[in-house]
Amino acid sequence: AMAYGTFCPGPAHILKPQHPKYSKNTYDQFKNAFPPEYMNIPVMGAWVPVEYRPDDIVVMRRNPYYWKVDEKGNQLPYLNELQYKLSTWADRDVQAVAGSGDFSNL
């Protein structure tokens, strides 16, 4: 499944039927069983993917069930939505020179 730097368990009822131990899939088939446009996976993280357009954008919305809070008890994350523009190295350079990019990570 997806891991973001630390261990993050995935939903067994979705992942298990695709896993080679429980199906005829190979590990490559399991790895590719959930393409980026597949949005209907429960998440435990702060953000829920809600839109994916190839070569364009990924939209993530705040998970209303996220369990972390700040020191005052306010639910995290603070932002309601993140948009990641899918780009290339060349376009990243153009956006940096134009000043229209606020963060780059390829």
What does CATH list as the number for 43-99? 3.40.190.10
Name the pLDDT band for 36 (thresholds 50, 70, 90): confident
Q: Which two tokens stand for residue 101?
A: 């990019």
Span 28-43, mean pLDDT? 88
Q: What is the pTM of this model?
A: 0.68
CB–CB of 62/49 below 8 Å? no
Selected residue with higher pLDDT from 6 and 74: 74
Q: Where are the domains of the chain?
A: 10-39, 43-99
CB–CB of 46/62 below 8 Å? yes
Q: How many Cα atoms within 13 Å fall on the side-chain side of residue 1?
A: 18
Q: Which two tokens stand for residue 48?
A: 């829920």
* Pairs from 74-77 (Cβ < 8 Å, separation ≥ 24): 76/46, 77/46, 77/47
